Structure 1
């Protein structure tokens, strides 16, 4: 495909809207195939306005949501390791993952099912065994855990940086601080208008995160941005919360009452989040960005119960965004009207770990029109 000497030309093979977790990976895998790609990001790269900031994201193979995700995770791990070698920096830290809850909880039973379906080694632990082996935890007696050694964390902002750097090395173009205001498509080309210029391309990839409902009005009814809050709390016994002694985890205290967390990593404090937080649907351009006292209180409710030695002073609080679909599963597909437009959205709070393989899938769909990866469950027309 044609390559250009100038970074300021207006015609490309593929334009990617959104250069966060998914979009940065898409630009990388498109550029690596010789595609003349332009990535457009309305904020800085990386930034703190969307869904990919906050230092870390969980990656795990004991995937309680559904066993069908595991093959995608296997490929995601491979691609993260490839990216590390290109970037010459570790991005994925595997110190294990725990799925915690009562024995009949969906988080525990689903994690076991994923491991058994795909022959992943795992350990079933009772509460006393979890608390002894990982002394940062204070699990109630009726809780159990599923430990899987390959789980861990991704250094999220550095993953985006690595994908963008790879894009540049491979001849792709990225424009930050340039907001897309409109786009239109015909069967032959797409036209993208920003607050700085107008561009045309043969194909368009929309990976706009919480702004996808605006970019994709045909899907707005099944995409709901939601406010999320993360907290970092200083432990009284820091040694119990180092990566080698404290795995990433998801804990289901009751149905629809899930928390997740991380060891200390590169910033002060132990990171904790409440999955779907208050269920607070928002407009990303109008939402309350400053964390509130009740946000911290909601996070400390679990910390006080299950991580008592981490219940020290607050080190940081930060808001971010989920973009949820009705079934909490992804949308990765061609646009419902335009075959030359590919969409990736609605990752519902559990997408970042997949962004490496999603980038590969988006490149497949944009270049080949199809992919060998199993993505039927993510089709637009399921709603």
Structure 2
């Protein structure tokens, strides 16, 4: 069967790309090894933070603001609740490079940002205790994306526009021609004029089939939910948060509809082979231990573990994304290596991938994410 575009990977970036390509009138096939949304990637666990004053660098801000516009549009189109404007509190030492970059992003793009000392933070959110040398940077317009619901929303719209989605269909082989591609699964061969690779932790394997050796490292990550006093940590009054501490970088979410205070550690993690069984939450002491130590120090009113889960980050050496066309085949677009902070961008990355396939360029600035920095 022949398609205009095949998308390998129907997760965060791939499902979004499928939406924009099919909306543009293209005949699209999305292939996924599992049944999205699923727990084999970087989108499960119910929620993800979207921050605007970006601590990872000002080069991300224009993209994340466009992403927010597209999430708002998707909410209206699908009539699904995808975004909760909880605000986001970024906390750390006033000398923290991350905190300095949050403030720089706010200043450069004129974003609303309240800078609070430790006492002001505690007065507003009594469930938080900060050291004296910390500050809090509160973004009132940021918040929480319902990640799995976002995947379902893009699936809904992609299928509405005629896209085909084949699940439980891992790719076995790729054959690239100058004017198209052939993608082989265990029982089918599919042909298309163009290809999008958005395969998450399986990107190294797919890119190798395309003659590319890209330094991508899948790592195991964990997060958990803890019993919470809803008066202190409920989503109607408590923000999502990121903390840059000497012990590590942590992120978390208010208790949404009584689900509990959700917490994860961003840095660290063990490298894995995604084709092998991954250790479940709790098999390492640090899975719960790191999170409990954080809570003891910063949020001592929420400590009893409910349950935890694991997920996968796919890291680049510099922790910046790869979003680019194949250097030898301009009909192949690649999205990989989102390094644990990509989901919030998946709306604008999908738009950008569609642009690259349709016209070879995009108005979104992808220059920091070029593949050639690793070639």
TM-score category (smaller protein): over 0.9
CA RMSD of aligned residues (A): 1.2
Task: Identify the residue that residue 222 of structure 1 maps to in structure 2.
Answer: 215
Q: Check conservation: 1:17, 1:206, Cα contact below 8 A.
A: yes
SS state at 1:310 partner: coil
Could you give the per-residue CA deviations for residues 149-173 of structure 1, whole angstroms, max 9, x where no partner exists? 1110000000000000000111111
Could you give the per-residue CA deviations for residues 231-274 of structure 1, whole angstroms, max 9, x where no partner exists? 11112x222111121111110112x7100000112562211010
Task: Identify the residue that residue 249 of structure 1 maps to in structure 2.
Answer: 241
Structure 1 stretch 280-289 or stretch 57-66: which is displaced more? 280-289
For 2:11 and 2:125, the matched residues in 1 are separated by 33
Task: Identify the residue that residue 349 of structure 1 maps to in structure 2.
Answer: 340
Task: Identify the residue that residue 91 of structure 2 maps to in structure 1.
Answer: 100
CA positional deviation for 1:336 = 2.7
Could you give the per-residue CA deviations for residues 101-126 of structure 1, whole angstroms, max 9, x where no partner exists? 00010121010000001011211101
For 2:83 and 2:309, the matched residues in 1 are separated by 22
Q: Check conservation: 1:100, 1:107, Cα contact below 8 A.
A: no
Task: Identify the residue that residue 286 of structure 1 maps to in structure 2.
Answer: 276
CA positional deviation for 1:287 = 4.7
**Is the counterpart of residue 156 in structure 1 residue 147 in structure 2?**
yes
**Is the counterpart of residue 309 in structure 1 residue 304 in structure 2?**
no
TM-score (norm 2): 0.96
Could you tell me which runs of 5 or more consecutive residues in structure 2 were left unpaired when the two chains were aligned.
none
CA positional deviation for 1:288 = 2.4
Could you give the per-residue CA deviations for residues 202-248 of structure 1, whole angstroms, max 9, x where no partner exists? 0000000011011112554411101100111112x222111121111
Q: Check conservation: 1:16, 1:23, Cα contact below 8 A.
A: yes
SS state at 2:307 partner: strand
Q: Check conservation: 1:38, 1:173, Cα contact below 8 A.
A: yes
For 1:86 and 1:27, the matched residues in 2 are separated by 16
Find 2:81's aligned residue among 84, 90, 94.
90
Structure 1 stretch 134-143 or stretch 24-33: which is displaced more? 134-143
Within a 5 Å distance, the mapping from 1:149-298 to structure 2 comes to 149-217=140-208, 218-235=211-228, 237-254=229-246, 257-266=248-257, 268-276=259-267, 278-291=268-281, 292-294=283-285, 295-298=287-290
Q: Check conservation: 2:48, 2:144, Cα contact below 8 A.
A: yes
**Is the counterpart of residue 326 in structure 1 residue 305 in structure 2?**
no
Task: Identify the residue that residue 133 of structure 2 maps to in structure 1.
Answer: 142
Task: Identify the residue that residue 17 of structure 2 maps to in structure 1.
Answer: 26
**Is the counterpart of residue 337 in structure 1 residue 328 in structure 2?**
yes
Q: Check conservation: 2:235, 2:257, Cα contact below 8 A.
A: no
Could you tell me which runs of 5 or more consecutive residues in structure 1 were left unpaired when the two chains were aligned.
1-9
CA positional deviation for 1:142 = 1.8
Q: Check conservation: 2:30, 2:164, Cα contact below 8 A.
A: yes
Question: How many matched pairs?
Answer: 370
Q: Check conservation: 2:224, 2:262, Cα contact below 8 A.
A: yes
CA positional deviation for 1:19 = 0.6
Within a 5 Å distance, the mapping from 1:35-74 to structure 2 comes to 35-74=26-65
CA positional deviation for 1:337 = 2.5
Structure 1 stretch 290-299 or stretch 150-159: which is displaced more? 290-299
SS state at 1:354 partner: helix
SS state at 1:138 partner: coil
For 1:198 and 1:221, the matched residues in 2 are separated by 26
**Is the counterpart of residue 16 in structure 1 residue 7 in structure 2?**
yes
SS state at 1:179 partner: coil
